[in-house]
Amino acid sequence: MAMVSDGLADDAEVVVVEVLSNAVWQSGAANITVEVSVTDELLIEIAGDGRGIPSDDRRRIGLANIA
Encode pLDDT of 18-59 as tens digits: 889 888 888 888 999 999 999 989 999 999 999 877 766 655
Q: 24 or 66, which is more confident?
A: 24
Count of domains observed in the chain: 1
Residue 15 has what DSSP assignment?
H
**10 part of a folded domain:** yes
Q: What is the pLDDT of residue 9?
A: 94
Confidence grade of residue 1 (pLDDT, cut at 50, 70, 90):
low
pTM: 0.73
- Residue 55 counted as domain residue: yes
Is residue 20 assigned to a domain?
Answer: yes
pLDDT of residue 22: 83
Residue 47 lies inside a defined structural domain of this protein: yes
Structural domain for 32, as ranges: 6-66
Q: Is residue 1 part of a domain?
A: no
Contacts of 38 (CB under 8 A, 6+ apart): 2, 3, 4
pLDDT score, position 13: 94
User: How far is residue 42 from each of residues 11, 27, 33, 49, measured CA to CA in Å?
Assistant: 11, 25, 17, 24
